[in-house]
Each structure stands twice: as structure tokens, then as C-alpha cells.
């Protein structure tokens, strides 16, 4: 049985690399250091224009941190869903919770409607739910197409037992897609232990900035910061390594 491969990216170049490597879909984000937030409209349009065979799904998340959104953030998310759809996105990725760890049903329904028929993925906010099985049923009822999850653990390997149970309970009504810590060393085990048909991973490697002049004193972020003159880029070699290891 063949697998569907989704690559988490943060650039147009990442979409191009994923397409060349033979992946099926990308999740386009900004700020992967924060777990991914909504990319700019320009980036969405450029990514969609740069590829032809791969599908571009766009995360809609106004900020890092938790997944409990106020009315202003909810308005922004709805606007961003519509803007991404109009920019040519092939799918939308969302996630919203209540303070009690349940799916925020009204906001999720609102965003699914704003997607206008595009497939909707509920991202790893799912891993912060208090009852994953109740959350799964809520998402099925709301018409969400797939759930991205690490099995509520630090990585998919530790979360494989829950992922397998989610696959069984889903019964084909919604796609369960493992993501979080997928590597070429564990992907085959995860697939074998869970029975999933889709897999989500990043294929990032460090690359030096092309900057020739470098000022070593200022930093653009806070005290917890990445090196100013270093990038993380998606590589085709990283993608094909995981795909080859999965063997499907």
C-alpha cells in the first residue's frame, strides 16, 4: 500500500524541493521555530505558482503559544482562510481549543465553512486535547478531513499506540496522519505499528546565510534565539531519505 507524504515547509523553495523529491503535499507555514504560524499572502501565492503537481495546504494560526483564540484572533483566522483559498491554496490547516482542552466547535465550524469546500486538516492542537477520542468524533462531525497528531506524545514513535487506536476508531471516516519526530530511522516502524496511510514530516538542514558582512552584536529575537547567520532549509535529500526508509 502506497503512502501519501506531506512535508512541513516554511518557504517557496521548500515547496519546490518537496515537489522534485516526489512528495504529494506540503503544509506551508511561517515561523517553524514557533510550531508554525500563518504565512504571508505573498508567500502563499508564490508557492502555489511555483509548483504544478504537489498540493499546497496552508496553516492558519495567528501566533505561537496555545490554541485558545479570542474574538479578534478568530476574525483574523477567518479572513486568512478566505485569503488563502482565494490565493489558490489547495487545503487549509487549522486548530482551536477551549480552555478545558476540547475542540473549539464554533470556531472550527466557522473556519471549515470559510474554507469553502477545501479539505481541512486539524493540526497538532489535537495533541493538547483532554480526550482525544471525543475530539476525534467532534472533528468527524464538523467535516474535517484529517488529523495531524503525534499521539499526544513527544514524538510519533512514543505515541504510536494511541495513533493506532485513533486509526481504528476513525474507521475511514477521517484520516489520521502521524507527525512529530518522523525520521528515516523510525518511519517504517511507525507505519507498521499504526496502519496509517499518510505521513507528515519536515526535512530541514542547517545552511549558512549568504551574508558577507556580519555584525555579531545585535540579534533580531529575544534571549532564546537562533544564530543570526544560519538558516534551516528543506532538502530533497532529506525528503527522499524518509520516503525510501518507509518503503512505500
Ordered domains of the chain (ranges, CATH)? 4-246 (3.20.20.380)
Contact 166, 136 (CB under 8 A): yes
Residues 6+ apart with CB under 8 A from 177: 6, 121, 146, 147, 148, 149, 196, 198, 199, 200
Question: Which runs of E-coded beta strand occur in the chain?
Answer: 4-9, 25-28, 55-59, 91-94, 120-122, 146-149, 175-178, 198-201, 204-208, 230-234
pLDDT on residue 218: 79
pLDDT on residue 121: 98
Cell matching residue 201: 514530516
Q: List per-residue pLDDT tens for the chain, 248 residues long.
A: 699 999 999 999 999 999 999 999 999 999 998 899 999 999 999 999 999 999 999 999 999 999 999 999 999 999 999 999 999 999 999 999 999 999 999 999 999 999 999 999 999 999 999 999 999 999 999 999 999 999 999 999 999 999 999 999 999 999 999 999 999 999 999 999 999 999 999 999 999 989 999 888 777 766 666 666 677 889 999 999 999 999 86
Taking the model in full, what pTM does it have?
0.92
In angstroms, rounded to a whole number, what is the distance separating the alpha carbons of residues 9 and 234? 7
In angstroms, rounded to a whole number, what is the distance separating the alpha carbons of residues 143 and 33? 30
Residues 6+ apart with CB under 8 A from 223: none
Q: 131: helix, coil or strand? A: coil
pLDDT on residue 183: 96
Which among 66, 134, 130, 125 has a CA at the least distance from the CA of 94?
A: 125
Amino acid at each position: 500500500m502506497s503512502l501519501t507524504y506531506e512535508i512541513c515547509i516554511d518557504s517557496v523553495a521548500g515547496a519546490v524541493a518537496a515537489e522534485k523529491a516526489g512528495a504529494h503535499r506540503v503544509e506551508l507555514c511561517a515561523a517553524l521555530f514557533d510550531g508554525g504560524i500563518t504565512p504571508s499572502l505573498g508567500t502563499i501565492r508564490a508557492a502555489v505558482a511555483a509548483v504544478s503537481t504537489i498540493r499546497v495546504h496552508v496553516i492558519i494560526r495567528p501566533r505561537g503559544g496555545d490554541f485558545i483564540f479570542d474574538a479578534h484572533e478568530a476574525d483574523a483566522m477567518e479572513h486568512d482562510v478566505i485569503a488563502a483559498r482565494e490565493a489558490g491554496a489547495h487545503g487549509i490547516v487549522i486548530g482551536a481549543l477551549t480552555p478545558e482542552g476540547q475542540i473549539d466547535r464554533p470556531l472550527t465550524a466557522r473556519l471549515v465553512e470559510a474554507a469553502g469546500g477545501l479539505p481541512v486538516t486539524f493540526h497538532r492542537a489535537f495533541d493538547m486535547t483532554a480526550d482525544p477520542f471525543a475530539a476525534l468524533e467532534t472533528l468527524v462531525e464538523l467535516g474535517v478531513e484529517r488529523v495531524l497528531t503525534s499521539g499526544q506524545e513527544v514524538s510519533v514513535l512514543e505515541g504510536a499506540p494511541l495513533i493506532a487506536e485513533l486509526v481504528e476508531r476513525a474507521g475511514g471516516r477521517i484520516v489520521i496522519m502521524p507527525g512529530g519526530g518522523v525520521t528515516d530511522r523510525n518511519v517504517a516502524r511507525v507505519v507498521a505499528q499504526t496502519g496509517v496511510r499518510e505521513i507528515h514530516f519536515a526535512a530541514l538542514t542547517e545552511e549558512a546565510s549568504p551574508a558577507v558582512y556580519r555584525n555579531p552584536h545585535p540579534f533580531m529575537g529575544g534571549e532564546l534565539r537562533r544564530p543570526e547567520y544560519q538558516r534551516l532549509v528543506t532538502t530533497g535529500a532529506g525528503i527522499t531519505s524518509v520516503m525510501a526508509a518507509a518503503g512505500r
